[in-house]
Chain A
């Protein structure tokens, strides 16, 4: 089945630690995105990538880093510089050929700082 797989589903981070969230897709999509969701707030864009080896900052990129070495993979690292990392993280992908296509989302990773 085609889709997006995020792992792990739950992640606990200690203060000062970097953690990496995995996102893999087999939809052959060029574009991939990372969003953060907090209670009472809409999804906020962290980083996005339109093509392999290229990515751009979104609205709240501070304290995060990404890489796009393969078309299928777009991992997100939450660094110790992110002061409030506890949130629900969502990865998405879409085609790039048209500007009005749907986004496919993974099932999310819930990150908690302990």
Chain B
């Protein structure tokens, strides 16, 4: 089965800096990869989806890269704000198609003033 690794240690950065979160996976190459934001006690909220044939995707201050050779995705938040503080989850589609996802454990981001 697919194994996803996200940094379990919290990432603390200063407001205005760029936050970079990492998602590494093993085994098969997914057709697409998604990033979600989760606030404490709430359900995840979709942020971005990137397909296997796309190297980079942007949405406002967010940027995702997808390197199928390294089996890695990087998630960047530029000009970070305290409101960006949350846990960010990486999710991959499962082999065999369909919309079932495998989720990483998430990385907690704290943006300090």
Assembly CA distance A100 to B105 (angstroms): 21
Query: Which residues of B have CB within 8 Å of A100?
Result: 31-32, 49, 51, 93
Q: Distance in Å from the Cβ of A16 to the closest Cβ of chain B?
A: 27
**Beta-carbon contacts under 8 Å, A77-105 to B:** 88, 90, 92, 94-96, 99-105
A43 contacts the other chain (Cβ, under 8 Å)? yes
B79 contacts the other chain (Cβ, under 8 Å)? no
A73 contacts the other chain (Cβ, under 8 Å)? no
Indicate which residue in B45, B93, B98, B104 contacts A50 across the interface (CB closer than 8 Å).
Answer: B98
A75 contacts the other chain (Cβ, under 8 Å)? no
B58 contacts the other chain (Cβ, under 8 Å)? no
In the complex the two chains form, is B46's CB within 8 Å of A42's CB? no
Query: Which residues of B have CB within 8 Å of A50?
Result: 98
Nearest-neighbor residue (CB-CB) of B105 within chain A: A42
| Interface size of A in residues (CB-CB distance below 8 Å) | 30
In the complex the two chains form, is A101's CB within 8 Å of B43's CB? no
A33 contacts the other chain (Cβ, under 8 Å)? yes
Assembly CA distance A6 to B100 (angstroms): 20
Question: What sequence of 0s and 1s flags, for each residue 79-109 of chain B, a beta carbon within 8 Å of any chain A beta carbon?
Answer: 0000000000101010001111111111000
Q: Distance in Å from the Cβ of B5 to the closest Cβ of chain A?
A: 10
Query: Which residues of B have CB within 8 Å of A99?
Result: 31-32, 93, 97-99
A7 contacts the other chain (Cβ, under 8 Å)? no
Q: Distance in Å from the Cβ of A3 to the closest Cβ of chain B?
A: 10
B16 contacts the other chain (Cβ, under 8 Å)? no
Assembly CA distance A96 to B97 (angstroms): 11
In the complex the two chains form, is B105's CB within 8 Å of A40's CB? yes
Assembly CA distance A40 to B100 (angstroms): 21
Q: Distance in Å from the Cβ of B50 to the closest Cβ of chain A?
A: 10
